[in-house]
Amino acid sequence: MNIKRVAVLGAGAVGSYVIWGLSNNKDITLGVIASGERNERLKKRGIMINGTQYTPEVWTPEEAKNVDLLIVSLKYGSLRGALDDIQTIVGENTTVMSLMNGVDSEEIISEKIDRSHILYSFIKVASQGKEDGYHFDPETTVGIYFGELEEPYESERVKAVNDIFENTGLHWIITDDIQAEIWGKFRLNVCNNLPQAILGAGVGCYEDSEHMSAIREGLRREVEAVAKAKGIDLSKINAKSGRGSAVKASARYSTLQDIDAGRHTEIDMFSGAMMRMGKELGIATPYNEYTYHMIKALEEKNDGVFQYQGGNDRVSWSK
């Protein structure tokens, strides 16, 4: 198998990391998928990445039909709306990798395409969109994890993806435990992104407050119970992760960044998915339920739902 045409769906913070790296591979044609106004904007302005302008090809879903590799890096809220585009793009020989956080983007994508197209993956990067484009540190980026769910782990498509990443500057890890790795990242996001997003403080809060630590542990127990019931063995990840990755106490993960910027978050992908899976498996998820509703309410607050000043005030009733 030889990968010659690669499309990126979602040319944002994560997509930029892929575009930055694969632009160095002169043996492939790289395109970003966009329709309408987004297509025109990307053609006109390209994408600013770490201070440099990148101008990959810009393809409509029809123009990208049957690419060899489709990399999906959308936010959770955009995924369902893009499923028809994914269906249009994916041909008989297309491999699809979703770098999205969470544990169910592959499941959602396979509502429209056969699951056999999907090579399971995720990414560890801290990339941020700012006024002058996207920024990340290529050196400290852990990179893209991918692998087959079952043997043969060294499949033709794993080798082909490995080959196009060579000498690009991208970092990547091929693993025989991709599902457990995805769940390890999910656990990290659910336990660390969410309580700090409610408190509005850097991740040092988990070391400095027994209360924040207790909430994080409550979420962790629920993720681990759901993972166990699904047959996901997180012990291998626990053994590998040691003390975890070093991070500044002031760090604000993506959920808090979304709240800070007044955007809607990906809470449906985190606690929303936990509540759904808990219900399916008969496992109570009270920490996630509370977290889900609090973060939805913070989104409402950002949307201006609770502005009671001046003429907007009224009598309301409490019991």
Ligand X SMILES: CC(C)(CO)C(=O)C(=O)O
Ligand Y SMILES: NC(=O)C1=CN([C@@H]2O[C@H](COP(=O)(O)OP(=O)(O)OC[C@H]3O[C@@H](n4cnc5c(N)ncnc54)[C@H](OP(=O)(O)O)[C@@H]3O)[C@@H](O)[C@H]2O)C=CC1
Residues in contact with ligand Y by the rule CB under 6 A: 9-15, 33-34, 38, 73-76, 78, 81-82, 99-101, 123, 125-127, 129, 254, 266
**Contact range with ligand X by CB under 6 A, out of 44-52, 69-77, 124-132, 171-179:** 124-132
User: Is residue 18 a contact point for ligand X (CB under 6 A)?
Assistant: no
- HSE, side-chain direction, 13 A CA sphere, residue 231: 1
Which CB, 108 or 283, lies closer to ligand Y?
A: 108
Phi, psi (degrees; rounded to nearest 5) at 281: -100, 0
Among 45, 53, 44, which Cα is nearest to 20's? 53
Among 210, 201, 189, 316, which Cα is nearest to 265's? 189
**Contact range with ligand X by CB under 6 A, out of 111-119, 121-129, 216-224, 309-317:** 121-129
Give the tokens for residue 25.
């591979």
User: Is residue 189 a contact point for ligand X (CB under 6 A)?
Assistant: yes
Residue 193 binds which of ligand X, ligand Y, none (CB < 5-8 A, kind-dependent): ligand X
Distance CA 294, CA 193 (A): 13
Give the tokens for residue 244.
């975890």
Q: How many CB atoms lie within 10 A of CB 117?
A: 19
Q: Is 145 strand, coil or helix?
A: strand
User: Is residue 25 a contact point for ligand X (CB under 6 A)?
Assistant: no
**Contact range with ligand X by CB under 6 A, out of 65-73, 186-194, 211-219, 235-243:** 186-194
Give the tokens for residue 271.
């606690």
Number of residues that bind ligand X (CB under 6 A): 9
Maximum CA pair distance of the chain? 68
User: Is residue 254 a contact point for ligand X (CB under 6 A)?
Assistant: yes
Minimum separation from the CB atom of position 60 to ligand X (A): 30
Residue 253 binds which of ligand X, ligand Y, none (CB < 5-8 A, kind-dependent): ligand X
Question: Contact, 54 vs 23, CB < 8 A?
Answer: yes
User: Is residue 124 a contact point for ligand X (CB under 6 A)?
Assistant: yes
**Contact range with ligand X by CB under 6 A, out of 90-98, 120-128, 161-169, 217-225:** 120-128
Q: Which residues bind ligand X (CB under 6 A)?
A: 101, 124-126, 188-189, 193, 253-254
